[in-house]
């Protein structure tokens, strides 16, 4: 029983580290993340699933990509992996409902999200802001 608790705690810790790292898409390593860095990282991450390289994600590509990420996270033993890749996000991102997600649609979604992390509205998300956002997300 004790062992199980320990494993869960470790899994939670690594999940938290992964999330904070993901949020801190600090490309130029200056300790803070700009909106562009954040959008670039989300876009690049999602567009990796564009298998036929036509510059957009079909639902099929999305699903396959999500399965891949899920498998990776599961292999790393990160808690909460079944929640990853829920189909809902595809529909949220596909704002013009043409059945594919484009880089423009991805940027349009993650731009305003960045603003919610940047609590003092200086255009940068610092590590402490990222941690606070991550904590808030965990409470929901």
Q: Kindly list the distances between the CA atom of residue 5 and the CA atoms of 2, 15, 77, 79, 131, in Å, as whole numbers in the listed order.
A: 5, 15, 14, 12, 24
Phi-psi region of 31 (alpha: psi -120 to 50; beta: other; left: phi over 0): left
Residues 22-59 as b or e (16 or more Cβ within 10 Å = b): ebbbbeeeeebbbbebbbbbbbeebbebbeeeeebbbe
Tell me whether residue 94 or residue 134 sits nearer to Ca ion (CB atom): 94
Tell me whether residue 12 or residue 45 sits nearer to Ca ion (CB atom): 45
* Nearest distance in Å: CB 78, Ca ion: 25
Cα-only R_g, the chain: 16
Member of 19, 24, 25, 26 binding Ca ion (CB under 5 A): 26
Tell me whether residue 40 or residue 79 sits nearer to Ca ion (CB atom): 40
Would you give the binding string for Ca ion spanning residues 50-89, x where CB under 5 A is met?
x-x-x------x----------------------------
44 binds Ca ion (CB under 5 A): no
Would you give the binding string for Ca ion spanning residues 104-123, x where CB under 5 A is met?
--------------------
* Nearest distance in Å: CB 88, Ca ion: 15
Tell me whether residue 79 or residue 107 sits nearer to Ca ion (CB atom): 107
Residues in touch with Ca ion (CB under 5 A) = 26, 28, 30, 50, 52, 54, 61, 94, 96, 98
């Amino acid at each position: 029983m004790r062992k199980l608790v320990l494993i869960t705690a470790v899994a939670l810790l690594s999940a938290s580290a992964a999330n904070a790292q993901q949020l801190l898409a600090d490309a130029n390593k200056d300790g803070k993340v700009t909106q562009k860095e954040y959008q670039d990282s989300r876009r690049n991450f999602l567009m990796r699933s564009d298998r036929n390289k036509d510059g957009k994600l079909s639902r099929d590509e999305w699903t396959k990509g999500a399965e891949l990420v899920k498998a990776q996270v599961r292999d790393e033993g990160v808690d909460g992996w079944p929640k990853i890749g829920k189909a809902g996000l595809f529909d949220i991102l596909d704002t013009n409902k043409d059945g594919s997600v484009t880089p423009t649609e991805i940027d349009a979604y993650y731009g305003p999200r960045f603003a919610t992390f940047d609590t003092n509205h200086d255009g940068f998300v610092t590590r402490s802001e990222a941690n606070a956002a991550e904590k808030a997300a965990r409470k929901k």
